[in-house]
Amino acid sequence: MRKLLLAAALLAALPLQTRAADPYPSRPVTITVPFGAGASIGSIARIVAEKLAARLGQPFVVEYKPGAGGTIGSAHVAAQKPDGYSLLVSATGTMSIAPVLYKNLSYRSQDLTPVAQMMRVPFVIAAGSAFKGNTLAELVAQVKAEPGKYNFASTGNGTLVHLGGQLLLNQFGGKAEHVPYAAGSEVAVALIAGDVLFSVANISTVSPHFASGRIKALAVTGPERFPLLPDVPTVAESGLKDFSVRHYVGIFGPPGLPADIADKLNKEIGDILRQPDVEAAFKAQGDMPVPVSRDAFARTVADDAKAWGDLARQMNLAAN
């Protein structure tokens, strides 16, 4: 009888041992994009997902769960089992600012597991047809000469584009009216039409109009010149020190994602981002892949959360 019981116990344990030994991934992985299908973050997710599927032998399926500044999709992933089969693509604004705007979230963004950074790029201070100058210094002088007369555009109340514009005004003591739009494409249209004077914009949304001159690139907001806009000076080169606006896009897992799974994904995604065709695909939409270690990405996430979260609180921002 004891032999029969022992054999039964061994058979019962066998499926657990088999599952534990299964290499990750052994079934399809879902990557949630917390914005609409037209967002540039979605195209980045699809590029990486296709490459991950080819390298790891399982489908990586991109799904869209938009709404509430990215918090609906984030909450969905935060509630999933931390087994590596549910991942989130997120960015600075969703991780750093949305938790300030939305007071009763079911999750804490700092509890999500940073897995892999995919890009880290500056914004660009862009001016449209209402601005007759060519430099940031001229823009500053124009805004300061007539406080409150001009408008600046953003992609919505509480977005990083909004906070970047306000931070710029704070930097030189300027005053301008904030005009929120629903998407980056609308910001570009407003600049071209002369409805707003400037925007601290996502490069990918306004760069298609630089060659025609319909939108002017006055300065990039990173610590050094952006490789895709080598002739555009930095804000520091333009006379404003200690001003920086950069955003990241990266992959996160639910709280408690095991380190071995996160490490494997970080390595695979890093290798993917170094492939020439992936770099070309990123550049085509005004982005640059920037692979880093998990520790480096986690530091970026924490630093941005403090800087932008503090500014959002100082501005008393709240979701509409």
Q: What is the mean pLDDT of residues 176-201?
A: 92
Q: Establish if 180 belongs to a structural domain.
A: yes
* Residue predicted with more confidence, 2 or 187: 187
Q: Establish if 6 belongs to a structural domain.
A: no
The pLDDT value given to residue 8: 47
- What is the per-residue pLDDT across 281-301, written as a single tens digit (0 to 9) for each? 998 877 889 999 999 999 999
Task: Clarify whether residues 104 and 142 are in a common domain.
Answer: no
The parent domain of residue 199 ranges over 122-220
Q: Is the pLDDT of residue 22 over 80?
A: no
Q: Establish if 87 belongs to a structural domain.
A: yes
Find all residues with CB under 8 Å of 302, minimum gap 6, and list them: 110
Task: Clarify whether residues 107 and 51 are in a common domain.
Answer: yes
Task: Clarify whether residues 111 and 148 are in a common domain.
Answer: no
Among the candidates 220, 239, 260, a domain finishes at: 220
Q: What is the mean pLDDT of residues 160-182?
A: 91
The pLDDT value given to residue 320: 56
Task: Clarify whether residues 115 and 34 are in a common domain.
Answer: yes
The pLDDT value given to residue 4: 45
Q: Is the pLDDT of residue 277 over 90?
A: yes
Angle at 250 between CA 310 and CA 258, to 5 degrees: 100
Q: Establish if 301 belongs to a structural domain.
A: yes
The pLDDT value given to residue 5: 46
Closest CA to 187 of 203, 169, 201, 176: 201
Task: Report pTM.
Answer: 0.83
Q: Is the pLDDT of residue 77 over 90?
A: yes
Q: Establish if 79 belongs to a structural domain.
A: yes
Domain with residue 71: its CATH number is 3.40.190.150
Q: Establish if 227 belongs to a structural domain.
A: no
Task: Clarify whether residues 116 and 127 are in a common domain.
Answer: no
The pLDDT value given to residue 12: 53
Task: Clarify whether residues 60 and 202 are in a common domain.
Answer: no
Task: Clarify whether residues 103 and 252 are in a common domain.
Answer: yes
DSSP structure string for 118-144: EEEEEEEEEE-TT----SHHHHHHHHH
* Residue predicted with more confidence, 204 or 58: 58
Task: Clarify whether residues 116 and 259 are in a common domain.
Answer: yes
Q: Is the pLDDT of residue 18 over 50?
A: no
Task: Clarify whether residues 103 and 190 are in a common domain.
Answer: no
Mean pLDDT of the chain: 89
The pLDDT value given to residue 145: 93
Q: Establish if 280 belongs to a structural domain.
A: yes
Task: Clarify whether residues 216 and 134 are in a common domain.
Answer: yes
| Residue whose token pair is 């006379």 | 239
Helix (H, G, I), strand (E, B) or coil at 6: helix
Specify the range with the lowest mean pLDDT, choosing from 75-79, 94-98, 214-218, 276-280.
94-98
The pLDDT value given to residue 13: 52
Q: What is the mean pLDDT of residues 183-188?
A: 88
The pLDDT value given to residue 197: 96
Task: Clarify whether residues 214 and 276 are in a common domain.
Answer: no
How many domains are contained in the chain?
Answer: 2
The pLDDT value given to residue 16: 45
Q: What is the mean pLDDT of residues 40-49?
A: 91
Among the candidates 161, 185, 220, a domain finishes at: 220
Q: How confident is the model at residue 17 (pLDDT cuts 50, 70, 90)?
A: very low
Q: Establish if 126 belongs to a structural domain.
A: yes
Domain with residue 143: its CATH number is 3.40.190.10
Positive or negative torsion for Cα 119, 125, 129, 134: negative
Task: Clarify whether residues 53 and 197 are in a common domain.
Answer: no
Q: How confident is the model at residue 69 (pLDDT cuts 50, 70, 90)?
A: confident
Q: Is the pLDDT of residue 98 over 50?
A: yes
